[in-house]
Amino acid sequence: MSFTPGEEGGLSQAAPDVNTQDLFDCPTQTVTAGNTPEDQVLSVVDEASPSSMSSFEMLDTESVPVPYQEVQPHWFFCRRADDNTSWLPFSREDSDKLEHACIAVREKMEEIVIAVDGERYDVHVKERKRYAVYWEQAPTEVRRCTWFYKGDKDTRFMPYPEDFSRSLEDAYMIAVTLDEWKRKLEFPTGETVILHNPKLIMQYQPIGLQDEWVSSPSEQTRPRTVKRGVDNISVEILDGEPEKVDHLVFMVHGIGPACDLRFRSIIQCVNDFRSASLSLLASHYKRAQQDGQVGRVEFLPVNWHSALHGDATGVDEDIQRITLPSISRLRHFTNDTLLDLFFYNSPTYCQTIVDTVASEINRLHALFKQRHPEFSGAVSVVGHSLGSLILFDLLTNQRTGSEARVLSGESGHLNCETLEQALTRLGLQQYLDTLQAENLDLESLVLCHDSDLKDLGIPLGPRKKILNYIKRKWLPEDCKTGAVHLVPGLQLPPQDTLTSDHDGNQCSGSTTQQSQFHRAQSVTSAVDYEYFDVGIGQVSIDYPQLAFHPQTFFAFGSPIGMFLTVRGLKRIDPNYSFPTCKSFYNIYHPYDPVAYRIEPMIVSEVELEPMLIPHHKGRKRMHLELKDSLTRMSMDLKNNVLGSLRTAWQSFARLPVTALPPVVESETTTERNLQETQASAAVTASAKREEKSADFWTKILEWPKALHKHYFEGVCVDTENSIAADQTEQPEVKVGMLNGGRRIDYVLQEKPIESFNEYLFAIQSHLCYWESEDTALLLLKEIYDKLGVAFEQPQQ
């Protein structure tokens, strides 16, 4: 039987050459004997560490024999990243389900599929493979693990193959049953496992498999530590995710295939965000979870980059042909990431992007409903960077149920006239067979352009008649005059071509429907510059409809404000809101170079500071609190100093009280009393000024003591009171209906190290949202506030 190193760094599935019955008959003899290469390896092992062997014997003599107990298995799955291979444990709940399924497979000899990891993966137990459900990913190996090893340079324990583990377990059972230790298990590949005692088991590599650069035999035979059972190794095993799903969130990535500085995919970043949300639910909604009010929030990634850069479009090959050969790595990075911005501004590839995003979201939603038929919660969407702009354009161009009925009714009214009647009216009935051969009806004819009719062989004169008929009978009135449509609530700079009513208001409700109807009729791969919408979306793009109405739209590091301004939009009407989504949050890091604000486009007359997102531990970061306190203190100090100087100057400018002119004898008693009263009042006022000045200088001298008391003795002050005080300082301002009258712009708190150099952490700031617990907590609070679940700040 031959053995080779396994691909995971362990041993291949093989068993040691050992006879179990011989061990029972001759418990004191070793497994093999004779002058073989294995014996030479064992002699090197024995000579390499005599002191350790004596310590093993000492431990062995002190150990108390324990009865044999079968090892408890735990299931692991393999994760490969570049050249690194790691084995990660399933949760305890999933491992138990896999173990029960494994027993059933042995009995029925049929394949059983078990859903794991929140039903995002399916494990084929008999095949020992794990398959992703919602996204494309190569299947990964799973393993029923009982024995583990770790070398000196390894950071974690690695599981042995199942056959090898069974061989070790058999030898361990014999040693425990007979209470005979210091046995050596040898394998045909030269590996040697020595069972010194139940607590100490070592594996020695053969000399030929060691590094050729090492010199001494002791380095060549450095052993591996072997452990039995998952309870004896240091690995974190979670209990499992809650089965109940309260809310579903789709997350759309930005430019490029990588989403963070570690060049990880959207799948891995969303996994981190999901893990952070589960941790925050356990800490900030602990009581609600215990009462069964809170389950979990499911986050699913939406990948559109692979569809754009795949073989279907061929855009990568076209770009590669015109790319210069110099600085190839930088040009490859630019082609793979930054060009996505230009692709989205192109009508041709923009249509591919929005179709991919909408279809992928609808596919994931249908698949999730299929796997969770009991789900009755709401759905939200999250967009990062360019992904937020894609979602913004999609949500702006969604149609409500009433608008959809209006469109269908209008279309039905226009179809009362058949294609034959229309051609007869135009005197072009000879082309009826040509159009019917292409399965064109009157509604399909509206979608045709001059180039399409020319391809059908229709001459120029009849083509112009047909296009003029379409212009007069089908297009809205403002399109006939070449007017520009506007999405309601979004305002462009003053132009002569803008339509307005007598009051100067842009776009009524009927214009909205006409604009959307015209958008549906102007679908083409090329830009028709005669009639097109200059709304919030791209020109000549048919925006698909989502299969649900999102509850909330969260934008991370979003350039929406910049793109709206570049498109010519000056401001957003305060009454404007998404047709199917009533909540919108613009979340950004203060140093994010790609992020822009939204609120100044709605409320331009008032300068509003963005809402500060509280730290997930309950208060501002220390350096921000210190900065705000010092700012307030400096302002108070400045005001008090100026006030004191003003008071002192006024006191010097006045005449002293004792310098009042003497009383003339002719003055009456009443006048004398009046002068005495004024003098006493002046003395009293002077005394009050002196007392106020003394209090001021007392405060100046005591402010360091107050600062120390506030920051170093009052750290344990109730955090909720601190947050409430900060909120009371900022008056509530309504900023339109885009978020239901609530604030839209929310800014994260920068870390202390980030405040030293804004430029150094700029790129990292744009990619920090996937691992931001503050961002995840804001999403959870918005979701569960609408479910009526109270938020509780954990005690620090």
Q: 333: pLDDT confidence band, cut at 50, 70 and 90?
A: confident
Give the integer Cα–Cα distance in Å for 190 and 188: 5
Least confident of 70-79, 146-155, 332-341, 504-513: 504-513
pLDDT of residue 65: 61
DSSP percent split of the chain into helix, strand, coil, nearest 5 = 45, 15, 40
Give the integer Cα–Cα distance in Å for 787 and 378: 10
Strands 553-556 and 584-588: parallel
Give the integer Cα–Cα distance in Å for 429 and 419: 9
DSSP calls for 499-559: ---TT-----HHHHHHHHHHHHH---SS--SSS-B-SSS-TT--PPPPSS--S-EEEES--
Strands 571-572 and 553-556: unpaired
Tokens, residue 12: 């291949």
Q: Which residues contact 681 (CB under 8 A, 6 or more apart)?
A: none
Give the integer Cα–Cα distance in Å for 204 and 12: 16
By CB neighbour count within 10 A (0-12 exposed, 13-18 middle, 19+ buried), where does 250 fall? buried
Q: 695: pLDDT confidence band, cut at 50, 70 and 90?
A: low
**86 forms bridges with which residues in the sheet?**
79
User: Closest Cα to residue 250, out of 193, 297, 199?
Assistant: 297
Tokens, residue 596: 């822009």
Give the integer Cα–Cα distance in Å for 534 and 653: 68
Catalytic residue among 385, 388, 540, 583: 385
Tokens, residue 23: 């061990």
Q: Check: CB of residue 249 under 8 Å from CB of residue 300.
A: yes
Average pLDDT across the chain, whole number: 74
Span 335-371, pLDDT tens digits? 888 888 888 988 888 988 999 999 999 999 999 999 9
User: Closest Cα to residue 126, out of 145, 107, 147?
Assistant: 107
Q: Around 609, how many Cα atoms within 13 Å sit in the side-chain half-sphere?
A: 9
Length of the chain: 796
Least confident of 90-99, 279-288, 528-537: 528-537
pLDDT of residue 673: 55
Q: What is the DSSP letter of 70?
A: P
Q: Around 689, how many Cα atoms within 13 Å sit in the side-chain half-sphere?
A: 16
What stretches of 623-777 adopt beta strand conformation (E)? Answer: 745-747
pLDDT of residue 649: 60
Please give, one letter per residue, the 3-state secondary structure of 291-335.
CCCCCEEEEEEECCHHHHCCCCCCHHHHHHHCCCCCCHHHHHHHH
Q: Alpha helix (H) ranges present in 372-439?
A: 386-396, 401-414, 419-426, 432-437
The pTM score is 0.66
pLDDT at 491 over 90: no
Cα dihedral across residues 215, 220, 221, 226: positive or negative: positive
pLDDT of residue 638: 64
Least confident of 14-28, 54-68, 105-119, 154-168: 14-28
By CB neighbour count within 10 A (0-12 exposed, 13-18 middle, 19+ buried), where does 194 fall? buried
pLDDT of residue 447: 74
Q: 95: pLDDT confidence band, cut at 50, 70 and 90?
A: very high
Mean pLDDT calculated for residue range 41-61: 41
Q: Which residues contact 188 (CB under 8 A, 6 or more apart)?
A: 1, 2, 3, 14, 17
pLDDT of residue 50: 38
Q: Check: CB of residue 11 under 8 Å from CB of residue 160.
A: yes
Looking at mean pLDDT, say which of 232-246, 610-624, 760-774 comes out highest. 232-246
Strands 74-81 and 140-145: antiparallel
Q: Check: CB of residue 597 under 8 Å from CB of residue 735.
A: no
Q: 77: pLDDT confidence band, cut at 50, 70 and 90?
A: very high
By CB neighbour count within 10 A (0-12 exposed, 13-18 middle, 19+ buried), where does 32 fall? middle
pLDDT at 301 over 90: yes
What stretches of 596-749 adopt beta strand conformation (E)? Answer: 611-612, 745-747
Least confident of 82-96, 105-119, 688-702: 688-702
Give the integer Cα–Cα distance in Å for 350 and 450: 23
pLDDT of residue 412: 36
pLDDT of residue 634: 62
Mean pLDDT calculated for residue range 201-208: 78
Least confident of 409-413, 446-450, 681-685: 409-413
Q: 302: pLDDT confidence band, cut at 50, 70 and 90?
A: very high
Q: Which residues contact 27 (CB under 8 A, 6 or more apart)?
A: 178, 180
DSSP calls for 451-492: HHHHHTT--HHHHHHHHHHHHHHTS-HHHHTTPBB--TTEEP
Mean pLDDT calculated for residue range 571-576: 90
Strands 224-228 and 584-588: unpaired
Phi/psi at 435 (nearest 5 deg)?
Answer: -75, -40
- What is the residue type of 568? G
Greater confidence, 475 or 794? 794
Residue 52 annotated as catalytic: no
By CB neighbour count within 10 A (0-12 exposed, 13-18 middle, 19+ buried), where does 589 fall? buried
Give the integer Cα–Cα distance in Å for 147 and 162: 9
Q: 516: pLDDT confidence band, cut at 50, 70 and 90?
A: very low
User: Closest Cα to residue 320, out of 303, 334, 306, 308?
Assistant: 334
Span 634-689, pLDDT tens digits? 666 666 666 766 776 666 555 444 444 444 444 444 455 545 555 555 555 555 55
If DSSP codes are grouped into helix, strand and coil, which group holds residue 413? helix
Mean pLDDT calculated for residue range 444-450: 77
Give the integer Cα–Cα distance in Å for 146 and 712: 51
pLDDT at 246 over 70: yes
Span 450-474, pLDDT tens digits? 778 888 888 887 887 888 777 666 5
